[in-house]
Structure 1
Amino acid sequence: MKFAIIHIGKTSDKGLRSFIEEFRKRLSRFAKLEIIVVNSPKGKLNAEEVKQKEADHVCKHLNSSDLVVLLDEGGASLTSRRFAKMISEHFLHRSQRMTFVIGGAYGFADILQKRSNESISLSRMTFNHELALAVFVEQLYRALTIINKHPYHND
């Protein structure tokens, strides 16, 4: 299994970086995970221009065979078990990389929404990109432990 997480902006909080790295190590038992940081555009740009520039940077890291999943507050709400099922169904029928994208402050440009295969939500609340990455890495680990029948997840 191969996964990529593309997110806008660096994680500056040391505690969150440590948390993310810990779960990245744990994930390595089950799958290959690449975390790709895309810098937020600089300068005086309106929201649409920012979204477009971010999308351009994100698209440079996508493979044509990637299954692209946007992490968006308006996406489908899944339980941890349903998320695990989504992942296992993907890898049962496809062999390409599953790429998750955490957007910037203004969300996603239309071109990225059209390129995506799915959109899921971590919560109906909005998180900054650093916290979203930390929560998502833990949920990805949780899903892989469910798939592999590891005792991390309790119902």
Structure 2
Amino acid sequence: MEKALPAIPAKRYFTIGEVSDLCGVKPHVLRYWEQEFTQLRPMKRRGNRRYYQHHEVLMIRRIRDLLYDQGFTISGARNKLQELVQLERDKRRAGEVMLEGVEVIEVEDSTLEDFEDSALPPEADEVSEKLLLVRRELFEIRDLLSANH
């Protein structure tokens, strides 16, 4: 069985080496895919160095899945990717949110106070603390949005 791909860190830009590691694809393959898939356009800076954004890393993983796991040809993967991108655009235009691969947790009746009791233990690491802060911010955003309706 193939090893699972690592989690994508919360960074704004990734070098080609980082993307190679995150997606299990060699850098020369990534450069080739840029020629074959027009949706894949990393920013280029000094010395023609490539900097990929989070959505491009996700797209590369999708391309990799189509080619390596589902057995598409380059042409077939290009067509399938265009279909998927168009489907996502249509859903966005219709006001829907793409949550593919995201488990939805119902918390309609929950409040921030309900989660205050789940405070982190003293030995909690920095990542857990950041996640708790993000959760608090999300509750605040949800409350602001619901107050506007």
Band the TM-score falls in, shorter-chain normalisation: under 0.3
TM-score when normalising by structure 2: 0.27
Where relative contact order (Cα < 8 A, 6+ residues apart) is larger, the structure is: 1
TM-score when normalising by structure 1: 0.26
